[in-house]
Amino acid sequence: MNGRTAFEIRHGFARNKVLLGNWRESPFSRWSFQNVGELVPSARVAAASSGSEVPAQDLDGLLGEKVALAGGAETVAAFLTRSDTDALTIMKAGNIVGDWFAPHMAFGARHIIFSISKSLTAILAGILEGEGIFDPQAPVTRYLPEAAGSAYGDASVRHVLDMSVSLDFEEAYLDPESAFARYRRATLWNPGGGAESLADFILSLQRLGEPHGRTFRYRSPNSDLLGILLERASGQRFAESMHEKLWLPLGAMSEASVTVDMAGTARTAGGISVTPRDLARVGEMMRQGGTANGRRIVPEAWVRDTVSTGGDTDAWQRGMMAFLFPQGRYRNKWYQTGAASGAFCGIGIHGQWLYVDPKAEVVIAKMSSQPEPVDEPLDVDMVAFFEALSRMN
């Protein structure tokens, strides 16, 4: 082995090279995105079952198929490599029909899903709404009186759910001097954290002059605030609610986790890690109108509103993501594509996707370690790729 450890041979770098200051950078992210709990404090969400997954289903028959993308035809295998895919799971009509894993990711491993965490958190909001203990039309201050004086002081829970809070904040992922960097220190995702809690940071944010509800503004603190609101409404820690109300009835086969700050507050905007198959099961539950294993998990009316009928088209068009889904909308932290298929999805930075095509009865979970947090041309290709995969299955 020429003095190199098995870890170095597999990953191309030593474990001690992966630090809190570089864990989201390539090539270290290929390992750290599967092992966030070694870098950031995390709360466990136990599996629903003590059984084991059915073995991986081979995707070999699909890998040589070509898909039409902006730059021309490309094989599925080539696109998976170009988009730094770590894992892919495809379901058709409720059955797992294929899995693919990069050499550095093992079957059954967990992977951080970044902002798809928002979509899972919103499902819990829908469940609590159905139980009558969480009202999306209520002012934020009903659940969090200390929000008065912040940007959220005159905002409703609906504004938080639909990313239409008029929040003076930018998602400056790569600027170490920005408010976003301070935000990440508060989540313990960056060096220098521990002086300010996530809640303290969020409640220090101020609003813009525009009324709430007018413009879709993708601002992650909204979704961490949602997690805090859910804890206040339910009286449970987020990880406990996720286990009891989602992971157990879903029949999740593997443990999940969520990163937490100095006070134990969950990073519900982006800190959840799950396996590809369990993520696909979430998508299948949404495709089935909120049911899994013959059991209702979230109200059907909430799912319908989230994936098809709800959302403000004008607010979406005023936002910065209309290029991706020109006819789309955003509702309850899920994207409606506006496509004839009725496709909807959850999306996370560095290439995390949960794509659901109701017409084709297809669910696709894709986990990646793309070097850039946001790659807009690749995102456009990604949508075309998912549309093509849905037609092939």
pLDDT score recorded for residue 61? 86
With a cut of 70, list the residues of the chain below it in pLDDT: 1-2
Output the domain CATH number for residue 103: 3.40.710.10
Q: How far is CA 266 from CA 180, 187, 242, in A?
A: 17, 9, 11
Structural domain contains residue 151: no
Structural domain contains residue 169: no
Structural domain contains residue 186: no
Distance CA 133, CA 120 (A): 18
390 is catalytic: no
Structural domain contains residue 214: no
pLDDT score recorded for residue 353? 99
pLDDT score recorded for residue 149? 96
pLDDT score recorded for residue 383? 98
Structural domain contains residue 132: no
Q: Which of 42, 83, 115, 273 is catalytic?
A: 115
Contact 238, 227 (CB under 8 A): yes
Structural domain contains residue 265: no
Structural domain contains residue 253: no
Q: Of 83, 16, 158, 42, nearest to 368 (Cα)?
A: 83
pLDDT score recorded for residue 80? 98
Q: What is the largest CA-CA distance in the chain?
A: 63
Domain that holds residue 73: 33-115+237-247+271-392
Q: Of 113, 118, 115, nearest to 279 (Cα)?
A: 113
Distance CA 192, CA 7 (A): 28
User: How high does pLDDT run on average in the chain?
Assistant: 96
pLDDT score recorded for residue 67? 95
Domain count, the chain: 1
Structural domain contains residue 138: no
